[in-house]
Amino acid sequence: MKKDTFRIVTRGTDGKILIRDYDSTEAIMKRHIQVGVDDCSTDLDLRGLPVFRGLIGPIPEGANVIRYESPEVFETLTKEWTIEKPQRRGGPRPHNHVPSA
């Protein structure tokens, strides 16, 4: 599926996360200055997309969303992500029990 939603995530003056979706990068360029293009993303759908001054991104989000974040939001969400407990996959691990002779 083609990535066709461009999401800007910032924090308002009241501290709340603000999310605004756009249909194209042209709409974003009315509010942000393009300073380059992504040329090294491992997600090939992001290569060639604009890089904007004051925003981190492009970042893939789900099947069709391209996300840009303010540096403060990026730092906060990254810290929260790193302190989350990792989810265990599957059931409990088997014990390596060695029967006694």
Would you kindly state where each structural domain of the chain is located, as residue ranges? 5-82
Question: How confident is residue 63, by pLDDT bands cut at 50, 70 and 90?
Answer: confident
Percentage of the chain exceeding pLDDT 70: 82
**58: cis peptide before it, omega within 30°?**
yes
Q: Would you state the pLDDT for residue 80?
A: 82
Is the pLDDT score of 13 beyond 80?
Answer: yes
Is the pLDDT score of 69 beyond 60?
Answer: yes
What is the pTM for the complete model shown?
A: 0.76
Two tokens, residue 94? 């088997």
From residue 30, how far is each of 25, 34, 45, 77, 80 by CA, in Å?
9, 10, 23, 26, 31
